[in-house]
Amino acid sequence: MPENPTLIPTVVDAEQFAVQTSAIVDSVSRVIDGKPDAVRSALVCLLAEGHLLIEDVPGVGKTMLARALAASVDATVRRIQFTPDLLPGDVTGVSVYNPVDREFEFKRGAVFAHIVIADEINRSSPKTQSALLEAMEEGQVTVDGSTHMLPDPFLVVATQNPLEMEGTYALPEAQRDRFMMRISMGYPDAAAEAEMLRQRDTVNPLAAVTAVADAASISGLIAWARSVHVAPALEEYTVALAQATRADPNLHLGASPRATLQLIRAAKVWAALDGRDFVIPDDVTALLIPVLAHRLLPARGAHRAGAQPVEAALRQIVERVRVPVTSRS
C-alpha cells in the first residue's frame, strides 16, 4: 500500500457542501454539548488544511472534541499522549534493521494518520515537539535522509493545559505558528452541564458516533472551500491588519506571513460554512483573534493594560484599520 494513496476528491457544489458540513457539525455536536463555536473552529481547521491548538483547563472536553471529530470522519486516526519520555522517533517513525533482507526498513510513527490527536503536547521535550514541525508545515517527515509523505488530508489537533505548568515545556514561537487556530473550550452553561449529567451517566456518547464523511469527501470539501473568492481589496485589508500587528507598540512580535495566509484560508472556509462563495470583512475580523493571538507576544509592560493584552491590541487594530467598502478589480 502506498504511503500517500492518491485520493480522487468528491466533486461538490454549494448545496452538497452545506449538507456534508452540517452532517459533520451535527455529529460532533452530539458529543460536545453547548459549544458550537469550538465545533465550527475544528471544522474550519480541517477544511482550511490547518491545525488546531485547544488550550484550556482539565475536564472541559478538549480531547473529546478531537475524538468526536475523528469519529465523524471515516479516516485513519492516531492519538499520541505526549509525556516527558516520548521520543521523536515515536512520533515520526524510525529505521529498523531487517536481518532477513539485510537492510534498514522504515517503521511508521504515530503521525502517519489523517487526524492526529496530540494530547498534552506541552508535556514532552522541545526535541520531541519539534518532530511535528515538518509534518505540520509540509505534510511529510524526513528520517535518515528519506522523505515519507503523510496522508491527505492531514490534521493535527493538539491540547494543552495552561495552568499546570510544572514539568511542562512551553511551545516555542515556531511551533505555535504552525497552528492555524488556538481556541478555548470554556465551561458549559448550566443547561448543557445538566443535560450532560443525564445523558452520560452510563453511556459514552462517542460510542454512538458514526462516520458521516470519508477522506475523499473531505478532500472535495477542501477543494470547494479553496474556490471561494477573495476580492483584491479584502486581501489588502488582511495584509494591513497583519502589518499593523508588526508596528503596534503593545506587541513585541507581530503576525508572520504564514499567519496572513492562514487567516485568508480560514476566512474562505468560514464564508463557505455561511453559504457564501465570497469572503467579506466580517469573516476576517471574526477569525482575527483565534488565528493570530497565539502567534503574537505582548510588549514589556503591556500586561498592565489588562489580563489579555494581545487580544486587546488586536481589537484596537480592528477599530483603526480601514475596512474596504467596495472591491477593486
Looking only at the bridges linking them, the beta strands covering 155-160 and 181-183 are unpaired
pTM for this model (two decimals): 0.88
* pLDDT tens string 60-117: 788 888 888 988 988 888 999 999 999 999 999 998 888 888 888 889 999 999 999 9
CATH code, domain carrying 288: 1.10.8.80
Are 94 and 74 within 8 A, CB to CB? no
Are 57 and 105 within 8 A, CB to CB? no
* Whether residue 199 is found in the same domain as residue 57: yes
Total domains in the fold of the chain: 2
* Whether residue 203 is found in the same domain as residue 297: no
Amino acid making up residue 266:
A
* pLDDT tens string 143-185: 888 899 999 889 999 998 877 666 678 888 888 999 999 998 8
* Whether residue 23 is found in the same domain as residue 154: yes
Distance CA 295, CA 256 (A): 8
* pLDDT tens string 265-302: 999 999 999 999 999 999 999 999 999 999 999 988 66
Domain membership of residue 179 as a residue range: 14-220
